[in-house]
Amino acid sequence: MSNKIVVGIDGSTISERAVEFAADEAELHGAQLEIIYAIAVPTDVDFYGVTIAGPQIEALQHYADELLATAANTVRERHPDLVCTTNSVIGSPTWVLINASEDATAIVVGRRGLGAVKSAVLGSVSSRLATEASCPVFVISEDEQRPTSGPIVVGVDDSEFGTAALSFALAQAAARKTSVRAVSAYRTPALAIPIEPELMAELRQSEAAEAERIVTQALERARTDESASVEVEKVTVEDAPANAILTQAKDAQLIVVGSHGKGFVKRLLLGSVSRQVLHEADRPVAVVDLPH
């Protein structure tokens, strides 16, 4: 695998922010940057007996070239020494970027692109990439001010995905010279019959201790020599996992989640926690799968 960050663009304002984030990320990690535009070519159709020709490939290619050139100029202004290439590929954006992820260290996309309804459902491209890409996926929000300071906040559970997300967060924190806030959520079980307040408090304390143990053990597995000096704040919260992560991320520069967690159906749907975080976060989110 090459040391390359790939960013997908579509001409939307949010893809401008994705390009800027990707360029900064490539510069930070000493990687190359590739900007990709997917050319979705409509076919000729016979509509009510009338043959209607799809747009000519030459016009679509010219449009793609202009978008890519504009994006590359922006990158050169921000990072004059960064190696940046552009590429237009015929195909659906999802397929093109999933294919590109096989030779990338990370993919960057906007949460929603052209034609998406603002504040509605998560965009189909970002949602499928978060599930099917062969590398971590950074999803950029619509928020105009991208935070450049603060900790890396990561959701941790006792699945392999929680450990993978924590490992990625530690590597990001080491590169950005910041700390990690590892969040583990728990819920005190609802009981069918009332119990004494003291027993309920003991049960709650037991659940909190288990959440603390999960973070501690995940940290032991995720630490590397490169991230050994990263400061980690372990936070246990009685709340739904996605709510806990979002609440703890109000001062974060990046949120990291696993693509799935406990109870996942692999490769079918994006996990409910990561989906909610992607939908509601007002800052960049990295979605991490298991190493391929």
CATH 3.10.180.10 for domain 1-142, yes or no, is: no
Burial of 123 (0-12, 13-18, 19+ CB in 10 A): buried
CATH topology of domain 147-292: Rossmann fold (3.40.50)
> In 3D, which of 97, 48, 106 has the Cα closest to residue 286?
106
**Beta strands in 239-288, from DSSP E residues, in sequence order:** 254-258, 285-288
**Beta strands in the chain, from DSSP E residues, in sequence order:** 4-9, 32-39, 45-47, 50-52, 84-90, 106-110, 137-140, 152-155, 180-186, 232-238, 254-258, 285-288
- Residue 4 has what pLDDT? 97
Q: How far apart are CA 114 and CA 88, in angstroms?
A: 17
- Residue 55 has what pLDDT? 64
Q: How far apart are CA 244 and CA 94, in angstroms?
A: 30
The CATH 3.40.50.620 domain(s) of the chain lie at 1-142, 147-292
Size (the chain), residues: 292
* Number of other residues whose CB lies within 10 A of the CB of residue 138: 24
- Residue 214 has what pLDDT? 93
- Residue 190 has what pLDDT? 63
- Residue 203 has what pLDDT? 79
Q: What does the mean pLDDT of the chain come to?
A: 86
Confidence check: pLDDT of 106 > 80: yes
Confidence check: pLDDT of 252 > 50: yes
- Residue 202 has what pLDDT? 79
> In 3D, which of 242, 262, 246, 287 has the Cα closest to residue 158?
262
Query: Binning pLDDT at 50, 70 and 90, where does residue 292 land?
Result: low
**Beta strands in 54-179, from DSSP E residues, in sequence order:** 84-90, 106-110, 137-140, 152-155
β partners of residue 106:
5
Confidence check: pLDDT of 198 > 90: no
- Residue 98 has what pLDDT? 94
Give pLDDT tens digits for 140-191: 987 767 888 999 999 999 889 899 999 999 999 999 999 999 999 988 766 5
Largest CA distance in the chain: 77
Q: Sheet of 285-288: strands edge to edge?
A: 84-90, 32-39, 4-9, 106-110, 137-140, 285-288, 254-258, 152-155, 180-186, 232-238
Query: Binning pLDDT at 50, 70 and 90, where does residue 125 land?
Result: confident
Query: Binning pLDDT at 50, 70 and 90, where does residue 270 land?
Result: very low
Whole-structure pTM value: 0.87
Angle between helices 241-248 and 272-280 (to 10 degrees): 40
Give 110's Cβ-side CA count (13 Å radius): 24
